[in-house]
Structure 1
C-alpha cells in the first residue's frame, strides 16, 4: 500500500535550519565519518604507495642496464666479438663484457667460479651458449639474434646472394580488425586495471554500506532516524556519500597512475589513455550507483551481521560475473556484453581502450547503463523502505516487495 505525500514529509526532508535537505546531511555525514576514519585513510595511502611503487619499479626496470660477462675460447672469439659489438642494436639494455678463455676446461672453471655468466662455443649443429645453472635470458636473446644474422650473412655470401634476398617475403606483421595493434598490450593491461578498480571499489564500499545499514537496523537507531527524515532520503544520502568516497579514491588512483606512467617508457601513451579514463569515470559512476543501492537493499534484508552473507550472495555473484567477464571476454562476446548493464560498466571502457569503437557506441552503452541504474534505484528504494523497519529475522525479497508501508 502506498503512502500519501503530505506537507509534513516536506518538512521532514529539511534539517532544523530549514535550508539543508536531509539527504545532503546524510551524505555529508557518510563522507566526513569515513574520510576521517584511520582505516580508510591508511587503505588509500597504501594503495597509492603500491601503485606508485609498481610504476617506479617499472620505470627503474626500463632504465636498468643488464651487465653480463661472456666467455669465449679461441674458436669462438670472432663470433663473441660480433655479439658484443651488435648487442646495443638488438637490446640497448644489455651490456656485454668479453672474456678470452684458453680452452674448454678454463671455460668450465670460470663458470663454476662465477667469473663469467655464459660461455659461447661451437657445437655440431651451430653454436652453444653454456651457463652454470640458469639461463641468461637477455644474453640468450642477443646471442641467438646476432649468431643467426652473422651465419645467415656468411651462408648468403657463399652462394652469391644477400640476406635481404633470402628473407624477402618472410616478414609477418600483426593487425586487428578493430583497434590499433601497436597499443594492444598497453590497452590490455590498463583495461585490467579498470576492471580491478571497479570490482575492488564496489566490493569494499558496498560491504561497508550494507554493514552500516545492518548496524543501524540492529541497534534500532534507524527507527529514530525514520521519525526525523523519510527513508528514501536516508537511502539517497548513504548511496551518494559512498559514491562520492569511491569517486575520490578512483580519481586519486587514476591521477597517480597517469602521472606515474608519464615517467616510464610508456609515456607516449598517456594522451591516448586520458580519453578512455574519462569514459571509465562516467561508466564507473553509473555502475557504482546501481550496485550501491543494491548493497543497501542487501543490508536492509538482514537483521543481523551474520545474515549479510546470505542476503548479499546474489550481488556478490553478479560482481564476480562482471569481474571475470571484464577480463576474459573478447571478440563478439565482448561487443555484446559492452551494451548489457551492469557488465557494460567494465567491458565498454576496455573496448574504448583497444580502439575501433564507433562514436555512438559508448554513448548508447552509457545511456543503457544510466537507465539500468535509474530502474535499480527505484526498485531498490521500494525494497529498502519496506524491509528496513522489519525485525525478527531475515526478510526475503518477496516479503519486502509485498509488505505494506
Structure 2
C-alpha cells in the first residue's frame, strides 16, 4: 500500500522510470551515437572542404603561353584555394589530344581577337573564374599602356564596395547554418520524443495498466513524470549534440565564431526547454485521446501540423514576419534563437519572447492536464477533445 509521502513523490518516481528505461535502451543509445557521428562527419567534411586546394592544369599553345603563365601566377591571388600548373602544347591538335587524354583540364587560346578557354566536356568553375579575372586585367593593362594610361586611372571611380549592417558575410553564413541546426534539432527532438511519449501512453492505456497506476498515484503525477522524464532526456541529448558541435567547430576555419555562438546556444536551450514542455504535454494528450496505436495518427495530426509550421516558419520567415513570429508561441521557440544568432536584437526582446513562451507552456500544461486526466481512463474508442474536456472527473 502506498503512503501519502509516496503519492506526493510519485511524479519523481515516474520521471526516474522514464529516464532510466530510455537511457538504457539500445535504440536510444544507438540513435544518439549515430547522430553524434553524423555531426562529427559533417564538421569534418566542412573543415576538409575549407582547407582543400583545387589544382588545375592549364594548357597553352605558343601564342597563348604568356597569358597562360600570367593566369598561373595570379590565380592564387584571385582564389587562394586554386593552384594552376601550366603545360605548353605545340599546336591546336596537340591541345585537343591533351584534353581528350585528360592531361590538361582546359586549353587557353586566342579566337578572333578574344580569348577562349576550352575544356573536354564540363566547365572548370574555379579555373574559369580566375582566368576571366586575370585575362581581363592583362588586356586592360595592355590597352591602357597603348593610350598612355594605367589600369588604376581607367578604373577610377568604378569600384563597388560592400558593407553589412550586421557583421560580415561569413558571420552571416555561419549564423544561417547554425540557425538551421537549431530549428532542425528542436523539430527532431520534439517529434521523436513526442511520438515515443504518446506511444507509451497508448500502450499503458490499451493494456489497462494505467488503471492499476491510477489506483496508486494521481494521474497528474503520471503526466508530470512522463513530461519531465522525456524533457530531461531530450535536454541531455541536445546538450551532447551542441557540445560536440561547438567543440568540432574549434577544429574548422570557423573556430573564431565559437565564443560568439555560446550565448545564442544558451538562449536556444532556454527556449527549447519551455517549448518542449508545452509540446510534450500535447503529445501526452494525443496519446490519451487514442485507444489503439492506430488512432495516434488521427489524434496527433493537429500537433504534427503545428510542428511543421514551426519547422518551415523557422527556416523561411525573414524581415518583419520573422520579428512578429519571434514573439508568437510556440513558433518563437525556434524563431527567436535564429534572430539572436543574426544579431541586432535588443536585450529585452529574448526575455519578453521567453516570458510569453513560458506563459504559453503553463497554459498548455494546465489545459493538457485536464484533457489527459479525463481521457486516459476512457477505453471505448477514440476520444474527441470536446468529450475529454466535458467528461466527469
Q: Same fold (TM over 0.5)?
A: yes
| Corresponding position of 1:284 | 272
Give the distance between the partners of 1:111 and 1:29, measured in 2 at CA: 67
User: Does the 8 A contact of 1:210 with 1:298 survive in 2?
Assistant: yes
Q: Deviations over 1:211-253 (max 9, x none)?
A: 0000000000001111111111110110011001111111111
1:216 — aligned with what? 204
Q: CA RMSD in A?
A: 1.4
Indicate if the aligned counterparts of 1:180 and 1:356 stay in contact, CA closer than 8 A: no
Structure 1 residue 11, shift from structure 2 partner: 4.1
Question: Which of the residues 283, 291, 295 maps onto 1:303?
Answer: 291
Query: In the alignment, is residue 170 of structure 1 matched against residue 158 of structure 2?
Result: yes
Q: Which moved more, 1:254-263 or 1:335-344?
A: 254-263
Matched, 1:335 2:323: yes
Tell me the residue number matched to 1:404: 392
**Correspondent of 1:99 among 82, 87, 100:** 87
Deviations 1:174-224 (A, max 9, x none): 4455x3243111111111111011001100000000000000000000011
- Are residue 186 (structure 1) and residue 174 (structure 2) matched? yes
Q: Is the Cα contact below 8 Å between 1:217 and 1:388 reproduced in 2?
A: yes
Asked whether the 8 Å contact 1:24–1:237 carries over to 2, the reply is: yes
Runs of 4+ in 1 over 6 A off after TM superposition: none
- The answer to whether structure 1 residue 62 and structure 2 residue 56 are counterparts is no
Q: Normalising by structure 1, what TM-score?
A: 0.94
Classify 1:241/1:125 alpha carbon distance in 2 versus 1 (closer, same or farther; 3 Å): farther
Q: Following superposition of structure 1 onto structure 2, how do residues 142-181 of structure 1 map, counting pairs within 5 Å? A: 142-176=130-164, 179-181=166-168
SS at match of 1:358: coil
Match of 1:226 in 2: 214
Matched with 2:75 is: 87
Q: Match of 2:245? A: 257
Structure 2 spans left out of the alignment, 5+ residues: none
Counterpart of 1:13 (choices 7, 10, 26) is 7
Question: Which of these residues, 358, 361, 364, is aligned with residue 373 of structure 1?
Answer: 361
Q: Does 2:307 align with 1:316?
A: no
Task: For residue 96 of structure 2, give the secondary structure of its aligned residue in structure 1.
Answer: helix
Paired residue secondary structure (1:322): helix
Aligned residues: 391
Shift of 1:67: 1.5
Where does structure 1 lack aligned partners over 5 or more consecutive residues?
1-7, 15-20
Of 116-125 and 54-63, more deviation after overlay is shown by 116-125
Segment of structure 1 superposing worse, 303-312 or 57-66:
57-66
Determine helix, strand or coil for the equivalent of 1:404: coil
Q: Give TM-score scaled by structure 2 length.
A: 0.97
Rounded to whole Å, the distance in 2 between the matches of 1:125 and 1:294 is 71
Alignment partners' CA distance in 1, 2:113 and 2:193: 62
Instruction: Describe the SS at the equivalent of 2:276.
Output: helix
Query: For 1:176 and 1:341, how far apart are their aligned partners in 2?
Result: 30
Q: Tell me how far 1:160 sits from its aligned partner.
A: 2.9
TM-aligned CA deviation for residue 372 of structure 1: 0.4
User: Partner of 1:258: helix, strand, or coil?
Assistant: helix
